[in-house]
Structure formats: structure tokens, C-alpha cells
Structure 1
Amino acid sequence: MNYRFQNLLGAPYRGGNAVISQNTQLISPVGNRVSVTDLIKSQTLTLPVQSSSNVCRLAVSPDGTFLLTVDENQRCLFINLHRHVVLHRVKFKYPVNAIQFSPNGKYIAVGTGKLVQIWRSPGFKKEVFAFELIRTLADCNDKVTALNWSPDSKYLLVGSKDLAARLFYVKEKLKGFHSNKPFLLLGHRDSVVGCFFSVDKKSGRVNRIFTIARDCYIFSWGYSGNDGKIDEIREEGSEPPSPGTPGKESDGKKRKDFDGKDGDLCEEEYLHKQKWELLRKDDFPQAPAKLTACDYHKGLDMLVVGFSNGVFGLYQMPDFVCIHLLSISREKITTAVFNELGNWLTFGCAKLGQLLVWEWRSESYILKQQGHYFDVNCLAYSPDSQLLATGADDNKVKVWTVSSGFCFVTFTEHTNAVTALHFMANNHCLLSASLDGTVRAWDLFRYRNFRTFTTPSSRQFVSLAADQSGEVICAGTLDSFEIFVWSMKTGRLLDILSGHEGPVHGLAFSPTNVSLTYPLIKCLHWLDVAMFHLTFFSEPELHHHGTKLFACGMFLNGKGSVESFPHTHDVLTVVYRPDGRQLACSTLDGLIHFWDPINGELMYTVEGRRDIAGGRLMTDRRSAANSSSGKYFTTLCYSADGSYILAGGSSKYICMYDVADQVLLRRFQITHNLSLDGVLDFLNSKNMTESGPVDLIDDDNSDTEEGVDKQTRGKLDYDLPGAMPNRGRPIIRTKCLRLAPTGRSFAAATTEGVLVYSIDESFIFDPTDLDIDVTPQAVDAALNEDQPNRALILSLRLNEDSLIKKCIFAVSPVDIPAVASSIPHKYMQRLIEALSDLLESCPHLEFILRWSQELCKTHGNSIQQNSRNLLPSLKSLQKAITRIHQDLADTCSSNEYMLRYLCSVGAKK
């Protein structure tokens, strides 16, 4: 039950700005969450912190410790990046379009509406009012679009939508924060997208300013003083002169500078007292496209810009020399940023969910990730739980590495929505079914489609299954209500099973015998579930609202017998228990029925209407408590040992039930994102107008430059009974649930993306046979007395991970067979879990493999008899051994010629 959110797959980028921390940590917003990608280790992690709505702006502190996230509701979270916890919260009054830490990390500049607010950066200390507003600059006439601090944190460049950029000199007095009137940089014909300081490499002082407008023009500004002399700084408290007004030489007076230290005023105000002039104006040759993203690297004096047509350019400044001009897509680039060293460029395309990291010197990709354009329909775990395949309405099949969170291959041959996926037992073949009328087999070694299964006439497939041997492939249709059967080896169509009156919306082979179960949906009225052995069978008698079992022979002519499992409501989905001795199906009345497929008896019934209920759509005229829509399960998934079942549907909840006791163990709320519909249980009636909900009324005439276009329903929504169209915001739902064969994690295909939950690896005190003599001191005493056998049994009874591993290493290799044979059967699961964990982390490979081998030898019969209970831990051990085998094989293969050379040299000597 200790599943916790681990990662978010299928949507690496959804909009907003990306930032890079510590040169290699790429931080990007994903819905209302934030993902952190390590570009060196090639791993991505989604923080377990959620905002109230989609995150639109990010800012990271210079030392990489703190992260600021601002969502669409102007709520700001101050996050400790290392600990993944929220330290402070604050809410701004107006939408935030720009936010940035000062280079010294002491201050935060926030462009909220037309205002620029400067806050003192909070720290680790918990305070009631952690955010201290120091100063508000209200000089802009339209919303602020860009911010940039000078390297000394004393100047602030502000670009706005009023076609102007402003240079503020900000200083902190003893009694508050003070700023002179800004210097206006005019001449732009469109809103300012970016403004940057350029620093002289010799003196380290600012010598230029670059302002970039949305109409693809860049302005270069330089300053000139009174014959090159710095203007006089008047005494504190006097009225500041107008920008650019020449003055007298400094009288050398001292006062408190921006950092609160004594400093020379001449050195402080050298930018504000100068007169800025336009040096040159250059045009990016991309009209009629608009400039949508830009960044400037002060050390390299280079500028990167992104345009609405998917083109990006890299320019050497101040001479405006084009180094690269390339296209990465046809959609708008929404973010472009340098890393600290300036050798990597990061680009994001919100509409495509695309995130790229490009090394401009070698012209190679460091990272290239793209999520699904539409909702994910189906999932499939590989047998070793290392890979996760996803299929979506965008016609694509993606395969992800679960440990790293990266997609390593995308198959695009399908021409319509992908509706079902299935991994073959060999772990190297993936099957996919689609509405385009094909079932395709993918080779995960060569990354190609090596076989395509088709029908005599075009059909739409919505379900898929393969037998245990991998020789027979079956697929159910949406339009003709048939089941097609192919041979995997030849690709030949073997049979067409017809006679049903509804779409075959699910297929599942029995894990124990050669039988197949499939549910049928006809419109929204009834559904059938049937199980039959793979052969021709006689015309069945169909019963409405029933589950039927068909028993037949092998692929030979034969007769079929039918047994009906009656239901009072439509059956929505069906799933087998891993051992094949139980069948679960959910119905439209919110019940889950558990059947014995051998005796044909109803074993249990779970009522889940109240558990799955939650969330109200904006178009609903009834409250969430009185609404009948969505109070049923559309996807089910058994645990590896069959002791509990996961259930999800058109709701924000995923429910976990104990099968034997029929009780709710836990409810997972998949999101708190208010940007999605169906998250709130109570709606504010003030937001309802005569024309409908306020949030669904589009009163903005400007083009959508800030985020993703509104997403409509997927291609299969009409298959869900009671589903209501919502053309405003995406509706939160769970379309598919899959639990990893190891039992350590499960994945949920939701509107947010693919959520991966895993068992927390932190210590949980769960002892076995605990008494007064079972203590850590007793374990240490047994080790000191050279009794590793007794110490290991005591640690297994205490069930503390660190002690178990310590006792495993205390056993000498010679004594492993004797100690392994003395372990009681009831402690086998915990010991196997410890060994699989050690294989993932420790370097003593041969030692752990010897332990695993001896356990299998001495407890082989016991493992076979208790395979149901030991299946998750055995799968984890298999996964670890498979991964190590692949790593060693790759290492040996890459060093084959070096090893040959060394052997030949050694032979000659």
C-alpha cells in the first residue's frame, strides 16, 4: 500500500519557460508539476510538489538551491530543490509574465501585470511572512514581458508590452527601497520579448544593452557621458536628475549602496547617470513569423532566438553575425535558454510537448524528448518491468525506460489512434492495435515494424491479446463486432470470430490455460464477457447483461459450450488475476464482480460508487454528490500476487481494494490541478453566466502565445458511457491502469500524462515474529560470536533493511549453501527482496548471484508451491539480473577488439 508518486511520463513539456541550474540540471514545467532532468546522467525526475494550476513561470536561484514556480492562478511556491519540499507560499495579485532572481541571490524581481515588484528572497527559516516586498515599480503602461538583472544586482532592465524598455537603478536605503526614474529605451514597434545587459570582458562593467522586439528586430544601445567622465552623484535625499542629464564630477561622498555596504557612488551609478543612445538596429530575416523566445549569454556574447515558425537562430554579438539558423519544427518555440557554460541550447515547443537540448559546437543533440500530443489511451509493462509502452490518440507508440523516465524509441507507422498494447513474453517484441485497421509487431532490438496484421476489409481495432506462447494474436473490433485471429509466425489470418452485437472492447488470455476472455460493448446499452479456447465454435446464444464462457477445442473444427455470468448492468471492463483463478469485471452501476472462471460462481462483489465519485464538471447542472456520471470503473488491474486490485475511471481518484475482504485500502488523487475539469467538488455559482461558465468564455482576441491550445476530446470518448463533451478544459480521467510484474510500481494513463507510482524505499517498521529478544543488539551480538546464520534470521524477523544486508555480507562465500538452506520459508520473500535491491546498487555481483543460485537450489520446491506470494519479489530479482546482464553484454561488446588486442599482446610477450 505504500505507493507514492515517482515520475510523470508522456509529457516532458507543456508550456512556460525552462531554466537550467548548475549547468546540467534542466528544470521544465509539466502541467502543475515540475520536472528536473539531469543532462549528464540522462535521468528525469518529476517533483512530488503540485501547484493549484498549470505552472507558467520558473526561476531558480544562482546557487541552484531554491526554485520559484508561478502558476496560472498567480500562486507562487518557493521550493527547496534538494529536499523536494515547499518552504513558502505567496499569491500575486496580477498575472506573472516574468520572474528572476538577482545574481547575488538576495532579491527576486517579479513582473506582475503592469508592475515590477522586488522581493527579498526567503531562506530556510520558517516564517509567517517569509516574502518581504521591498519596492514596487509602477512605471510601465502595459504588462511586463521581460526582466534582466545587471551582474552587480544594482540595475534592472524591464521590457513591457507598451513598446518600451526601461532601465532602473535600484538601491536600498536604511528606511526602505528607493529607485530613480527609469531611463526609457524607445523605438520598438512591437512588444519587447527580451532585454539583456552586455558586459565588457576586461573591465567587467556593463557597456551595452540589447532589447529584442516581437517583430523580429534587435536594438543595440550604448551609453556616452560628459566627455567620458562619470557624472556627479548628488547628496542623498535630493531630487534625482532626469535620465541622461549631464552633471558635475563626483565629490567622493560615501553612502549605503544596494548591498547595504559603504561604496563609491560614482561606481554605483555609472549606468544610470549616462545617456543611452541607439547604436544599431538589426532585423532577423524571419518575417512574417514572430519572435517568441530569446536568451543571451554574457560570457560568450551570444544570442539565441526562437520564432513562431519553429526556426531558431544563434548570433554572435554585438556584430550580429549568424552562426546557426535551423528549424526544429513547424510550431512555435516557446522557450530558448543557454546553460551556464553556453555550450548547450535548450528549446521547448509547448504545442508538440517537445523539449530539446542541442550542443551548437558539435551540432548534436544532448536531449530530445517529445510527449504525446493527445491523451494516452493504453499502457503495457515489459515482463521485466524495465520498459513501459504508451499509445495515444496522436497515432504514436512510445517506449519509455522506467528508471530514467526517457523515451528511447517512437513508432509512427500507425495512421489513427492507438488503442491497445501488449508486450510479448520474450521482452523484445511489442504489439499495438489501432483504429487504422492494423495490428503491428515492433522489434525493440532493431526498432522497426517487422510484421503487420490486416483484415480483408478495413476495421477499427480497440482490443488486443496474445497467448502465453506468443503464437496466436487476437484483436477485437469497434465497428464490425468481430474478433480476428492471426498466426504470429506467418502473419496469416486464421479465423474470424463473429456473432456479437457490440464492439469487442477488451481481450485477455487466461494465464493458466489456453482460453480467452473478451467483453463486448454495444452503444451504451449492454456488454458481454466471454471466454473460449482458441478454435472455431458454433453460433453462440447471446444474453444481454451477462458474462459468458465459451469452451472449445484447439484450432480444429469443434463445438462450443456457453455458460452465462449474469449482470444487472452493462459490463465495462474485465481482467484476469495473474494465477488465472479469478476474473474481475466492473459494471455501469459502480460494482466490481469477482468470478471463479472454473466453477462459474460469483465470489465477491465490491461497491465502489462512493469511492470513485468526486469532482464536478463545469457544465454539470447537478452537484457532485447528486450526479450519476463517472461513478463507475472503466479500467481494472490486479496486483502481482492477486491480493488487491486497482480501479480507475472518469474521476480524479484511483481506488485500491483488498480482494479477500472487499474493503477500500487507499484512494490516490491523481492531481490537484484546477486547470483541468472535474477536480473541484464544489463550483462557485458566481462564475456561471447566461452564456455558460466564465472560464469557458474566450474574451481574449490576441493569438495564443503563452501556452498550449485548448485540447478537445480524444477519439474514443464516445465509447465511455455517460461521457459529456467539454470543449473548454480537459477532463481529468484515468483511461488505463497497469501494475508492473515486479509489483513495485504501477502506471496510470491520465489526462495529466502517465503517472508512475512506486513503493517508497524508505524504511517501514514491519517486523515478523517480534519478541523481547529480537533486537539490533542481538543481531550484532550474533555477528560478534561468529553466528551468521542466527544473525540473519534475527534480522529477517526484525525486518530492518540495513541489518538484513549487513548480515548477508557477513556470511562467507563458503558458508552460503549452509546458511541458505537454514532460512525458513516464511522469510524467503524478504530475503529475495533484499538480494534484488543489492543487485541494483552494490558492486559485489558474484557474491549476490551465488546467494540467488543457492536459494533457488535449496528452496526450489517451496518457491514453486508459493509462487503466487513470491511472484513480485522474484520478478524484482529477475529484473535486476536482466539489467546487469545487459550492461555486461554491452560493455563486453564495446570492448571486444580491445580485449582481443590485449590478449594478443600478452601472448606475444
Structure 2
Amino acid sequence: MNFRFQNLLGAPYRGGNVVVSENTNLISPIGNRVSTTDLLNFQNLTLPFEASTNITHIAVSTDGNFLFVVDEKSHAYFINLRRHIVLHRITFNDRVTSLKFSPDGSLIAVGVGKLVQIWRSPGFRKIFLPFERVRTFTHCGGTVTSLEWSPDSDYLLVGSKDLTVRLFFLRAQSGVRNKPFLFAGHRDAIVGAFFCLEKKNHGICRIYTLSRDGAICTWCLNNTNDLSDTPSSPGTPDQEENNGQNVLPVMENGSRKRKNFITNENASDLPLHHGNWELLKKNLFLQAHGKLTACDYHRDLDMVVVGFSTGVFGLYQLPDFVCISQLSISREKITTALFNGTGNWLIFGCAKLGQLLVWEWRSDSYILKHQGHYYDVNCLAYSPDSQMLATGADDNKIKVWTVSSGSCFVTFSEHTNSITALHFVPSKHCLLSASLDGTVRAWDLFRYRNFKIFTSPASRQFVSLTSDQSGDMVCAGTLDSFEIFIWNMKNAHLLDILSGHEGPVHGLMFSPTNNLLASSSWDKTVRLWDLCGKGAVESFPHTHDVLTVAYRPDGKQLASSTLDGQIYFWDPLDGVLMYSIEGRRDITSGRLMTDRRSAANSTSGKCFTTLCYSADGSYILAGGSSKYICMYDVENQVLLRRFQITRNLAIDGVVDFLNSKNMTDAGPIDLIDDENSDIEDGIDKQTRERSGSDLPGAVLNRGRAIARTKCLRIAPTGRCWAAATTEGVLIYSIDESFVFDPTHLDMDVTPEAVEDALDTDQTQKALLISLRLNEDSLIKKCILTVKPFDVPIVASSIPPKYLQRLFESFADLLDSCPHLEFILQWSQEICKHHGSFIQQNSRSLIASLRSLQNAITVLHQDLSDVCSSNQYYLKYVCNEDEEKADQ
């Protein structure tokens, strides 16, 4: 039961800004979660915390220790990025439009409506009120759109929708005016404003401002001492008297003389917003049919990258405004664009398509192309070795992911309609997929190609899929003709058509031990088909429509789920009902926006649409049109645990009670489409309308996605399981490294005792103490310190109850340590001395044994590939040695 959230796969980027930490760590919002991607090792990880709604803005500190996250409801979270935990929370009074850490990490600038608030970063301080508001600037006449700090954290450039940029000075000085300097001259809302450093004296000499109409203005700080009768910038307020100092004299015509305050002598004495800033030049990007939507500036390279609403991005060298590169990555709006720390990579995000791209502009090549499933994921399947996970969705695409890294390494898009079922062929590197386009396809995961297509005589829609243990027969159930088609895997010939069901065949699975095929249908029956015998059929009747069926791994039990929320367990050999579980109350979903009844009185969604046994068959996972996934003890028929798939309030069915304040005469306020809204980020509402259920009599909810689980699968090793949900594919894994069994502990069983035993060469004692502590690092250390000739003696003294923990440690060591022969010797001696116990308790040890077997199999394949590719080189080396010996 010790399953914890590990990762989120297949969820698209839905909007918000993206940041880069430590030059290679890409941090992006994914719905109400935050995803981090290591661009060097291609490791993808989703932080375990959840915001209340979709995240709109994120900011990371310069040292990469802290992350500040704000969602649509203006709830902010201060996160320790190293430990992945939320340290503090705060709620702002208005909608947050921009967010930025100061370069020294001590301050956070937040654009809240028309205000700019400066907060002191709480850091690691443990105080009652961690957030302290330092200052608030109220000079903006429109909503704040951009924030930029100076390198010394003393100045702040603020762009807003009032077509101006203001330069604020944070450190108030006596006798100096503190009004901001105003940069005016743009004709559209400001998108970005940036400081430029002079390389010679490391001072600020220019400021760049960019507006939505595709204009970039260069402002220069004039350091001459001559007088000027004209203001440096249109709209700049007149200077005021400050204690009799710096008073502008009045000319005869009534105008004031304006002198330059910033010279080489007093540049460090007066703030920059008292300087004589002048508009040096104004350039246009000449994108007639597009608006500038995203931009970023790199100070060291003096380059700016811009993205437009047409999907075009450009890279320009400043201040000469030379176009280095201009490409189109899509036809949709670019919602975010930025440089990494060194400036060699460009990161782009497109919320409409759910894309994140990392492009190296010097070599014109992509470093990363990340795109989740555009629509909800319908099905998933684990590979036999639990190393890969395949997902299929309504966007007609199949993606194959590496479970350990969370990265997608191949995408298949040959299907022309929604993917409904996936299945890995046992003992073969082959993936099967079924679709509503009327085809079943076989994919080669070595060459990444479609090598077989299975079709029916007439066009059919396939919704279920399986194959036998040998992989010679492929079976698929249909939605429209209620038939089961069977093909030969080798030549793709149709072998047989099984008829008898009177409803769509949504469940299909072969027995793990024999050739019995189990099928479930909406005709209230589960049927067993003997494909290799006389074709005998046994039917298990139910009182309601059967939604899915699942075999226990040992083939001695069959589970089926019905529309009334019941889970039935059958004995497939004797054909009798063993017991049942009533899960209507456990799977109760929240209240939808369009529901006329409360969540307790609603009948929709109170059933399980997907079932999956654990690796040892002791418990079963069940999910459906609800925010919960239920885990049941099969033998005792009790609920062990409920997993909540999401807490995102932007998804329907999460809350149990609706707020009456959100109800208007036109309906719920969240479902009203405001055509005058200028918020353009995120996916169109029409893309989220594909959220209705495919169950009989289900009510569709237009406008918002519904929290539900479409598919559940447990890895063959039993160490993790995946759920295809509305938010994406959730990966839960078991973590026993921080768990110990205190029943065999005493005062002498401590980590210090393990170290003392190792120092005195008592490796057997040290290993036993570490197993009693169940500390993963200590167990592995003790295993590696045992001498090879002592392994048989130590292995014979291990109590049988610790064998499962040892096998798990062996599997981890095979992936991380170079001592292959030593670990294999350990495994051999354990099996030799405890073979009878392993055979008698194979059901409880099957998960750890599969983990060890898969680790050995992967290493065997790697070694065989290396040896086969180097056999001729080895022969050549051997021949050279023989010739030298003869000479």
C-alpha cells in the first residue's frame, strides 16, 4: 500500500511562462502541477504538489533553490525545489499577471492588476508570517504585463497595458525624487522591457522595450553635460524641487531647462530614473499578420528572441537590429520564449498545441521536442520488462515512454481515429494497438515501424484488444457488430469471428495459464471461449451491463465490473461466483456544474470502468468516472485505500458541493464564454469538450473536462502502476527505502551497530541488522562488503522473511553497480539455500523475482549486443597477439 505519486506523463503544456534553472533544468507548468526536465540527461520529473487550479506564472531563484508558483485563483506557493516540498503559501487580492525573482534572490516582484508589489523572499526562515511586503508601486495606469530587474536588484522595469514602461528605484534616498521615469511612445501593450549592460564599465547604458504591435524601442542614457530644452521622453513628468537641490531653472519662454543628472562622476550617486533617457531608435519586426506575444533578452550576447501569434519566431542581434534567424515552428501562437543561462538554447512554448521546444540556434537543431497528448488518454500498457509504457489517446497518436526517465522516445501517428486499446505481445518486442478507424496495427519497437495491419471484412470499430501468451493469435472486440475477430500474427490472416454477444465488447483478456479467452459486453454477460479446444463457451450472467473484465495473474480468478457499481469475482475453472464487492459509495464522484442533483444523490459515474490486479493478485485497483481510484483487498473484500487523481478545481467533478455565488441566470459562471476576454493563453474550450462518458445513458458536460480514470495498469514487477486520467498518465510507485518494520527492533539494532560490525569484518551480523532496519542504503552496502567466498555461508543464514527485500536490493544493484558476477553469485546462493521456501511462497515473492529477472534480462541483452558487435574486433586482437608471440 506504500504507493506514492512519482510522475505525470502525456499531459500537454497548457500555458504559462517557462523558466530555466541552472542553465539545463527546464521548469514548466503542466495544468496544476510543475514539471522539470533535465535537458542534458533527458530526465523528466513532475513535482508531487498540486495547486488549486491551473498554474499561470512561475519564477525561480537565481541559485535554483526556490520556486514561486501562482495559479489562476491567485494562490501562490513557495517551493523548495531541491526537496520538492511547499514551504509557504500566500493568496493575492487580485489576478497576478507577472512574476520575477530579483537577481540576488532576496526580493520577489509581483504584478497584481495595476499594482507592483515587492515582497521579501522568505527563504529557509521559519517564522509565523514568512512573506513581508516591502513596497507597493501604484503608478501604472493599466494592467502590469512585464517585470525586469536590474543586475544589482536596485531598479525595476515595469511594462503595462497603458502603452508605457516605468523605471522604478527601490532604495529611497533622502533629498531625491522617487517618482518613476516614464518611457512612452509605443502604440500597443508592452510585452517586455530589458536592461542592457555596457561591457566596458559594467553599467546600464541602454534599455529595450517591446510592444505587442511588433515594435522595439532602444533608449539610450545620454551622459553629456550640455543643456536641452526638450524632455528626453514624451510623457516624462517634470522634475520637482527636492530640498532646494537639482532645481530646473525656468527659461524666458516658460519652459524648464533640463540638465543631465548622470555623468561619469555622479553616476553612482543619483538613481537611473533621474537620468536623461532618450529614444535612440525604433525598429519594427514587420510581421503584418501577427502580434508579438513573447520575448526574452540575453545581456551577455546582447540578443533578443521574439515569438509571434502566427507561430513565427525571430532571433535578432542588438543594438544593430540584425536578424540572425527567423523560422516558423507552427501556425499557432507562441506563448513563451526565452534563452537558457548561456544563451545557446532557445525555449519556446505553444499552449494551443501543447508543445515545448528547445532549439539550438547555432547548429539549427532541436534539443528537445515535447508534446503531450492533445486530448484525453484512453488506454495504456506496460511492456513485459516494465521499462516502457505505451499510451493511446483521442488525438490518434501512440506514444511510448521510458518509465524511469519519463521521456517519450517514439510517437506513432498512422491511425486515423481514436486509439481505444493497447497491448504488448509477451516475449516479443511488439506493441499492438486498436482504433476506431477499423484497424489493429502491430508496431516493431526495434525499428519503430508498423509491420502488420489487421482488418475485418467489413469496416468495424475496435474497442478492446489482447493476444495469447505465445503471441500467435491477436483478438479484438468491436463496438458496432458485437463480434470478436481473431487473426494470425505471422501473416495477418483472419482466423475466426466469434459471435454471440449482443452488445459492445469492451473487455477482452486471455488467461495467463491457458488458452481461455474472457470477454465482457454490455449485454450483461461475461463469456469464456476455448480457442484451441472444441470452441466451448461458458457464460457468466450479470444483472447489469458488464463494463470490463480482468484475470488474476495466476489465472485462477476472474473479476468483472458492472454498471451498478459491483465487482464480481468468479472461479473460471468451476464457473461459480466466489464473492463480490459493492463500490458505489467508494467511487462516488463530485458534483458537476450541470448536475441538477447533489453528488450524493447523483447516479452517474458510480461504477468502475477499468480493473487491474496486482502482480501477486492480493489486491485489485478499480477506477471510473470519478476523482478516486480504489484499492481493494480481494480476499477480505475491504477497501484498503483511495487515491485522488486530481485536486484541480478547473476540472469538473472535483468538489462535492458547488458555491451558489457562481450561479447566474445564464448558468454557471465558469461555463460562460466571454468573447471580450483578452486572455489568450491555454487550450480553446472546444478542445476540452471531449469530456463526456461513453457509458450508456451518460450525460455530457460541455465546456469543462471531467475528472475520471479511463485505464489502469500495474507493472509486471508490481513496483508501480499507471492510471490514464483527465490530467494525464499518473505514475505511482512503491517506495520502501524510508520504511522499516519495528517488530524486530531493540536497543542494539541501530545504524551505528551496522557500521561497527562492518569495521570489525562481521559482515553477516551487519547484513542481518540492516535487514531488520530495512534501510536501503545500509542493505546494499552490507551486500557489497561480503567477500565472494563468504557468500554461501551468509546466504544460508538469511531468514526467509527477508528474501523479498534482498531480491529487490539485487535488482537495484544490477542497475547501478558494476559487480555483475558478484550479484549473480548472491542470487544463485539465495535460490540454492532457500529454493523450497521460494517455491512455496512464490505468490508473495513474484513481484521482487520479476524485478530481478527483468534486470538480469536487460543486462544480458546489453552484453550480447556488445559481444556480437565486437566479435570480429576481438578475433583480430587475438590474432595480433598470436603473431607477436610467434615472432
Question: 3-state SS of the aligned residue for 1:171?
Answer: coil
CA distance in 2: counterparts of 1:894 and 1:161, whole angstroms: 63
Does 1:560 find its partner at 2:561? no
Distance 2:354 2:803 in 1: 45
Aligned equivalent of 2:483:
482
1:610 aligns with 2:585: yes
Match in the other structure for 2:134:
134
The answer to whether the Cα contact below 8 Å between 1:630 and 1:722 also exists between their aligned partners in 2 is no
Deviates more, 1:42-51 or 1:622-631: 622-631
Is contact 1:244-1:275 (8 Å) kept? Answer: no
The worse-fitting range, judged by mean Cα deviation, of 345-354 and 390-399 is 345-354
> Given residue 517 of structure 2, which amino acid in structure 1 is its aligned partner?
L
Indicate yes or no: 2:244 matched with 1:246.
no
- Residue 762 of structure 1 aligns with which residue? 737
Work out the CA distance in 1 between the residues paired with 2:360 and 2:831.
49
In the other structure, the counterpart of 2:367 is 366
Separation in 2, partners of 1:891, 1:71: 50
Q: 1:229 to 1:298 in 2, by over 3 A?
A: farther
The aligned counterpart of 1:144 is 144
How has the CA–CA distance of structure 1 residues 561 and 247 changed in structure 2, closer, same or farther, with 3 Å as cutoff? closer
Cα distance in structure 2, aligned partners of 1:92 and 1:902: 71
- After superposition, the Cα gap between the structure-2 partners of 1:81 and 1:800, relative to the gap in structure 1 and judged at 3 Å, is closer
2:212 to 201, 211, 214: 214
The question of whether the paired residues in 2 share the 8 Å contact of 1:103 and 1:153 is answered with: yes
State how many pairs are aligned.
870
Give the secondary-structure state (helix, strand or coil) at the position aligned to 2:812.
helix
Q: Secondary structure at the match of 1:272?
A: helix
Deviation at 1:908, TM superposition (A): 6.9
Match of 1:153 in 2: 153
Give the CA deviation at 1:763. 2.1
Equivalent residue letter for 1:610: R
Equivalent pair of 2:689/2:704 in contact (CA under 8 Å): no
Letter in 1 for 2:40: I
Residue of 194, 202, 205 corresponding to 1:204 = 202
Q: For the residues of structure 2 that align with 1:901 and 1:11, how far apart are their CA atoms?
A: 51
Q: Deviations over 1:436-477 (max 9, x none)?
A: 011010111100001111111211110000000000000011
For residues 236 and 384 of structure 1, do their structure 2 counterparts lie closer, same or farther at Cα, with a shift above 3 Å needed? farther
What residue identity is the alignment partner of 1:325?
A: Q
CA displacement at 1:891 relative to structure 2: 6.3
Range that drifts further, 369-378 or 899-908: 899-908
* Partner residue, 2:87: 87
Distance 2:612 2:226 in 1: 76
- 1:377-776 correspondence to structure 2 within 5 Å: 377-521=378-522, 526-534=523-531, 553=533, 558=534, 560-562=536-538, 564-702=539-677, 704-712=679-687, 717-766=692-741
Provide the C-alpha distance between the structure 2 equivalents of 1:153 and 1:773, rounded to a whole number of angstroms: 55
User: CA 1:657/1:241 → structure 2, altered by over 3 Å: closer, same or farther?
Assistant: farther
- Letter in structure 2 aligned against 1:227: N
Matched residue, 1:184? 182
Deviations 1:196-220 (A, max 9, x none): 1111111111111111111222222
In the alignment, the residues of structure 2 paired with residue 508 and residue 714 of structure 1 have an alpha-carbon distance, to the nearest angstrom, of 31
> 1:64-103 to 2 correspondence within 5 Å?
64-103=64-103
- Equivalent position of 1:171 in the other structure: 171
How much does 1:803 deviate?
A: 4.4
The answer on whether the counterparts of 1:358 and 1:367 sit within 8 Å (CA) in structure 2 is yes
Q: What whole-Å deviation, never above 9, does each CA across 1:801-842 have from its counterpart, x for those lacking one?
A: 344334423432123234434545443222211211222333
Deviations along 1:608-646, one digit per CA (max 9) or x if unpaired, are 112111411111121112222212111111110000111
Per-residue CA deviations over 1:357-378 (Å, capped at 9, x if unaligned) read 1111122222211100000000
Counterpart for residue 251 of structure 2? none
Do the aligned partners of residues 892 and 284 (structure 1) sit closer, same or farther apart at CA in structure 2, a change above 3 Å counting?
Answer: farther
CA distance in 1, matches of 2:247, 2:668: 51
1:872, distance to aligned residue in structure 2 (A)? 0.5
String of CA shifts for 1:12-47, please: whole Å, max 9, x gaps.
522111000111111100111101111122101111
**Secondary structure of 1:634's partner?**
strand
Please tell me whether the aligned partners of residues 349 and 355 of structure 2 are also in contact (alpha carbons under 8 angstroms).
yes
Q: Contact 1:768/1:796 (CA < 8 Å) preserved in 2? A: no
Cα–Cα, structure 1 residues 93 and 800, in superposed 2: closer, same or farther, change >3 Å? closer
Provide the residue aligned with 2:816 in structure 1.
841
Aligned-partner SS, 1:873: helix
Asked whether the 8 Å contact 2:157–2:168 carries over to 1, the reply is yes
Q: Deviations over 1:524-582 (max 9, x none)?
A: xx4321111116xxxxxxxxxxxxxxxxx1xxxx45343x4332222221111111111
Name the aligned partner's letter for residue 8 of structure 2. Answer: L
Question: Relative to 1, partners in 2 of residues 1:427 and 1:314: Cα closer, same or farther, differing over 3 Å?
Answer: farther
Distance of aligned partners of 1:56 and 1:779 in 2 relative to their CA distance in 1, 3 Å threshold: closer
Structure-2 change in CA distance of 1:179 and 1:452 (3 Å): farther
Give 1:798-837 correspondences, 5 Å limit: 799-837=774-812
Deviates more, 1:847-856 or 1:425-434: 847-856
- Contact in 2 for aligned 1:747/1:754 (Cα 8 Å): yes
Structure 1 residue 427: deviation in Å? 4.8
Amino acid at match of 1:690: D
- CA distance in 1: counterparts of 2:211 and 2:754, whole angstroms: 70
Q: TM-score, normalised by structure 2?
A: 0.92
Q: Post-superposition shift, 1:878? A: 2.3
Bigger mean CA offset, 28-37 vs 268-277: 268-277
CA–CA distance in structure 1, aligned partners of residues 859 and 73 of structure 2: 47
2-side partners of 1:903 and 1:294: how far apart?
61
1:171-223: CA deviation from partner (whole Å, max 9, x where unpaired): 24699xx9722222222222111111111111111111111111222222223
* Structure 1 residue runs without a partner (length 5+): 253-263, 536-552
Equivalent residues of 1:156, 1:168 under 8 A apart: yes
Shift of 1:140: 1.9
Cα distance, 1:491 vs structure 2: 0.7
Three-state SS of the structure 2 residue aligned to 1:140 is: coil
Q: Is the 8 A contact 1:332 1:349 kept in 2?
A: yes
2: CA distance, partners of 1:55 / 1:464: 37
Does the 8 Å CA contact 2:392/2:422 hold for their aligned counterparts? yes
Distance, in Å, in 2 between the alignment partners of 1:69 and 1:245 is: 47
Unpaired segments ≥5 residues, structure 2: 233-237, 249-254
Post-superposition offset of 1:83:
1.4
Counterpart Cα distance in 2 of 1:348 and 1:467: 43
Code of the residue aligned with 1:560 in structure 2: it is A
Cα deviation, 1:359-418, whole Å, max 9, x if unaligned, reads: 111222222111000000001001111100000000000000011010000000000000
Inter-partner Cα distance in structure 2 for 1:331 and 1:500 = 46
Offset at residue 737 of structure 1 (A): 0.7
* 1:272 and 2:265 correspond: no
Matches within 5 A, 1:282-297: 282-297=283-298
Quick check: 336-345 or 231-240, which moved more?
231-240
Mapped to 1, the partners of 2:137 and 2:28 lie a distance apart of 29
